[in-house]
């Protein structure tokens, strides 16, 4: 029988309080925890180094769900503007999606980024700005492709779709129905659509479902009445973290074994067992290299290649120093001839992105066609294909 991931010694810590409506936490290694305060129209930053609390973004346009894209940029739902947006590296906020078939979204609520860069999000109507017309006609689940094509995935199931997350291997999508406390599960087909809907679990006693996350074992952590409900992939309740009206949660700390929870007027944290390697919401998977598909693909004139050096390898160097890895990233043509070396050196743990401008090592522009990029780091080796079109 599956065991609860909550150790008997686990204690719920209240880290900060006095918020109006905290929501949507996300962990960033270089910063700590970001989370929305919907009614305060802010995003706060909580620092793990000194437990300080500062305003990260104001106004936030009533941001709710927060996550990270493959480049570590903040992706946020902005209910006041009824859109999905992204924060650029210079701090500016740009819209990614605000309409579907010419109609405004209701009030995008929560979201998750897939490993191909696509964004899946829910669009209920319970936070549509007062006095504004509801244009959509349904409350759905949507996908924004890496090429910024918006597709509706479900337009008939929900009255109030809310929390959304993937299984660890991204083969399943979970979305909950808030007022009924129901968690649904779909198969993810061809990375871009969903099928074979099933009811996974219903929170008892007229339960309310809100934000959700998944651990590496596939257990779902769904915030709801009286606490965070931990549901196995088979739909069995393993445990409940009892607390005041939680709204959402996120894995954090360097080892990703702390669950940060927004609830009531406060921010909480609890240490859990068996939750390393969390890959949800842009977290770096510990102990594992990854090479992502280049974007855009096909491309002209340039494309970006992103890879991950895991933050925790088999050993540390010296006194508490994280170990990096020597990386080789090269481009080859279809005949296997080397075109250019993009990376040749030691890289620190984290997410790295490099751009190829379609030129060879002599600085000459290459022709249209199929090319391969080969990534080698430690014992990890992977090759992927891309297409240059002129």
The pLDDT, as a whole number, for residue 306 is 85
* Ordered domains of the chain (ranges, CATH): 13-282 (2.120.10.30), 290-388 (2.60.40.4070)
The pLDDT, as a whole number, for residue 314 is 33
The pLDDT, as a whole number, for residue 284 is 35
The pLDDT, as a whole number, for residue 4 is 83
The pLDDT, as a whole number, for residue 261 is 98
> Which residues of the chain register pLDDT less than 70?
1-2, 205-206, 273-288, 311-323, 379
With 0-12 CB in 10 A as exposed, 13-18 as middle and 19+ as buried, what is 320? exposed
pLDDT in tens, 343-360: 999 988 777 889 999 999
pLDDT in tens, 25-76: 999 988 899 999 999 999 999 999 889 999 999 999 999 999 999 888 999 9
Alpha-carbon distance of 126 to 82, in angstroms, equals 12
* Predicted TM-score of the model (pTM): 0.72
Alpha-carbon distance of 253 to 111, in angstroms, equals 21
Listing DSSP states for 288-322 in one string gives --EEPPPBSSSBSS-EEEEEEE-S--S--BTTTBP
């Amino acid at each position: 029988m599956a065991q609860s991931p909550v150790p008997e010694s686990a204690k719920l810590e209240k880290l900060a309080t006095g918020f109006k409506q905290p929501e949507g936490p996300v962990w960033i290694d270089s910063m700590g925890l970001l989370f929305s305060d919907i009614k305060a129209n802010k995003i706060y930053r909580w620092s793990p180094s000194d437990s300080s609390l500062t305003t990260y973004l104001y106004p936030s346009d009533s941001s709710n769900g927060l996550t990270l894209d493959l480049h570590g940029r903040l992706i946020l739902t902005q209910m006041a503007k009824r859109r999905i947006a992204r924060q650029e590296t210079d701090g500016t906020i740009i819209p990614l999606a605000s309409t579907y078939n010419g109609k405004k979204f209701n009030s995008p609520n929560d979201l998750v980024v897939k490993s191909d860069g696509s964004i899946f999000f829910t669009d209920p109507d319970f936070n549509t700005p007062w006095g504004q017309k509801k244009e959509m006609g349904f409350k759905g689940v949507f996908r924004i492709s890496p090429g910024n094509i918006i597709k509706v995935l479900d337009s008939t199931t929900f009255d109030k779709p809310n929390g959304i997350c993937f299984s660890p291997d991204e083969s399943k999508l979970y979305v909950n129905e808030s007022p009924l406390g129901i968690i649904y599960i779909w198969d993810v087909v061809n990375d871009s659509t969903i099928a074979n809907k099933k009811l996974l679990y219903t929170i008892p006693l007229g339960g309310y479902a809100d934000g959700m996350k998944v651990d590496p074992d596939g257990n779902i952590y769904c915030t709801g009445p009286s606490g965070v409900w931990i549901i196995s992939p088979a739909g069995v309740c393993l445990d409940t973290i009892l607390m005041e009206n939680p709204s959402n949660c996120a894995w954090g700390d360097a080892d990703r074994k702390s669950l940060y929870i927004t609830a009531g007027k406060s921010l909480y944290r609890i240490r859990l067992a068996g939750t390393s390697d969390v890959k949800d919401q842009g977290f770096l998977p510990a102990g594992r290299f990854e090479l992502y598909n280049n974007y855009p693909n096909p491309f002209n004139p340039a494309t970006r290649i992103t890879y991950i050096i895991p933050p925790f390898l088999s050993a540390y160097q010296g006194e508490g120093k994280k170990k990096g890895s020597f990386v080789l990233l090269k481009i080859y043509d279809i005949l296997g001839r080397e075109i250019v070396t993009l990376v040749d050196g030691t890289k620190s743990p984290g997410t790295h992105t490099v751009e190829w401008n379609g030129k060879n090592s002599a600085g000459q522009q290459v022709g249209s066609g199929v090319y391969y990029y080969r990534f080698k780091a430690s014992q990890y080796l992977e090759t992927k294909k891309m297409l240059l079109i002129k």
